[in-house]
Amino acid sequence: MIETTILEKTCEALQQLYNQIISPASIGLEKTKKEITGDFTIVVFPLLKISRKSPEVTATEIGGLLQQNMPEIETFNVIKGFLNLVLTDQFWMKFLLESASAPDFGFTKNLHERPVILEYSSPNTNKPLHLGHIRNNLLGFSLAEILKANGHQVVKVNLINDRGIHICKSMLAYMKWGNNETPESTGLKGDHLIGKYYVLFNEKYKVEIEQLVQAGLSPEEGERKAPLILEAQEILRKWEAKDPETISLWKRMNGWAYQGFNLTYQRLGVDFDHLYYESETYQLGKDLVMEGLANGALVQKEDASIWADLREEGLDEKLLLRADGTSVYMTQDLGTAQLRYDEYQPSTMIYVVGNEQNYHFDVLKRVLSRLGKEYSKHINHLSYGMVELPQGKMKSREGTVVDADDLMEEMFCTAEEMTRELGKADELSATEADKLFNTIGLGALKYFILKVDPKKNMLFDPKESIDFNGNTGPFIQYTYARIQSLLSRAGAAGYTWEATLRNDIPLLPLERETIRRLYQFRETVAQAGQELSPAIVANYVFDLAKGFNQFYQELPVLKEEERQKALLRVCISKITGTTIRKSMQLLGMDVPERM
């Protein structure tokens, strides 16, 4: 990379000019600001203690030696303590023809290291996936693609939360009011059917609590003593005791949930390498807790419950096993972490989980450390913000969530309506049109969510997301389709730039700027992997698409009379299209060839 050469040559210049040896890492190098002439800028201020000269003189002396020793540098300018380097057109042409056109440009080959375990989705089998799950799944899948592009071996895992009191609530409601209905008899997806009973439980539970409060109990006492919650707790105890009838109903209802989840995952375009089930990991977690109790790392209270006392570390006491011996979320997370480490010996375990669980993962790492697990240092919680709607927050137990399946269907319908209005599907068959509507609808949904920094809360507006103008997925998809149309016409006209394009063509500013954006793809992929942020790729590809549209509008391509210039612009268009497609694939999105 040219940045490495600039840093090395700057170190050589400092030694030659001022007889000082410094590390390349101590030199500030950045992209030149748009309003200033230049490609890369060296920040000179930290070097003044070496030169003992003014910023302008120091920058001029360094720039002069760099220009003398680096044929890639055409000229330079100095603005106060900033040395702005202008690279030659020949450098950018060489990059375009050799690096940017390589199929694997921007990607790192396999690093042959221990794998990265990436957990995302983690649904509960008592309700269908909703908008919050969509952000989770899209972040997880995109991160997997980005990490793989950075040379990592990635194992995508999904922990199914298939046991616990919340599952028992749906089971109890079905036992009481289900009348043996099934997905087939109701026409509902299995996960939707189960979610119906989760909502029903909470409606009935709320009524019982209100009755107890009216009888004189506090709201907290009402929540603990309501008959429905006591019955649900009894079902949980029966489940852990492996009561045959309880296990049979549990398997039946969970099977419905899995069928529903798989249909949602398939339409959303996400998948997994390994499924874990809380029902299979919680026992290992209980074993770890008992080991920790035996060696003094954990404490047992008078009621037989077991806790991690983290007060000396500035946290609180954390329950790990209830007095009746049943486990909690933390118990199964301990077991799951150990199981994954035993199976894969990963370099890192990344959990894509919302920021409401920040405390949970802080505790998880500390408890594992107390249990002597060195891998606790390599647990990374990607804490993402919540998704809200214009009408406010969603609540699963009240049935006010935006269902993932309904949202994807809404996006499809909106894409169809807008695409037909614009006449972009007029020449397509019905099958081709449906595929296009799905590509645009899901692209709009995915891009709108992924362009936001994962750590930030976001407001999702379906109509805004599907606009064909502005910072949206459909705008980028349309740019790609426009490029494919141009390339098709160029091919028919015989513009085979691969064999005939010279590398000594002088560049116009818009040509040069577009090539510079292509150069930034490699850095973008690396930065997105380091920061675990698909938003970096999303915003890069929007800038690339926006810049190309300006390039396309202001510079003729096939109408350019000078053939070498026309070939150059076809080449830029081709590589821009390829880079848009690769960027969108990193985000888990498709791009249409026609639109």
End-to-end CA distance of the chain: 36
Residue pair 202/272 in contact by the 8 Å Cβ criterion: no
Q: What is the pLDDT of residue 523?
A: 96
- Structure tokens of 497? 């730039």
Q: What is the pLDDT of residue 13?
A: 95
Q: What is the pLDDT of residue 325?
A: 84
Place of tokens 């268009």: 573
pTM passes above 0.95: no
- Residues of the chain short of pLDDT 70, as ranges, are 390-401, 499
CA–CA dist 97, 334 (Å, integer): 52
Give the β-pairing of 154-160 and 82-87. Answer: unpaired
Q: Which long-range contacts (CB under 8 A, 24 or more apart) does 201-209 make?
A: 201/169, 201/170, 201/172, 201/173, 201/228, 201/232, 202/169, 202/397, 202/398, 204/173, 204/228, 205/169, 205/229
User: Under DSSP, is residue 562 helix (H, G, I), strand (E, B) or coil?
Assistant: coil
CATH topology match: 2-87 vs 404-586: no
Helix (H) or strand (E) run with residue 57 in it = helix 55-69
Instruction: Please spell the DSSP secondary structure of 104-153, one letter per residue.
Output: TTT-PPP---PPEEEE----BTTS--BHHHHHHHHHHHHHHHHHHHTT--
CA distances from 144 to 115, 292, 340, 375 (A): 11, 34, 17, 20
Q: Domain coordinates of the chain in residue numbers?
A: 2-87, 120-398, 404-586
CATH class of the domain defined by 404-586? mainly alpha
Q: What is the pLDDT of residue 394?
A: 43
User: 387 forms bridges with which residues in the sheet?
Assistant: 458
Residue 179 falls in which region: left (phi positive, over 0), alpha (psi -120 to 50) or beta? left
Q: Which CATH number fits domain 120-398: 3.40.50.300, 3.90.1300.10, 3.40.50.620, 3.40.50.1820?
A: 3.40.50.620
CA–CA dist 316, 313 (Å, integer): 8
Q: What is the pLDDT of residue 462?
A: 76
User: Under DSSP, is residue 243 helix (H, G, I), strand (E, B) or coil?
Assistant: coil
Could you please state the CATH topology (level 3) that the domain comprising 2-87 is classified under.
Gyrase A; domain 2 (3.30.1360)
Q: What is the pLDDT of residue 497?
A: 72
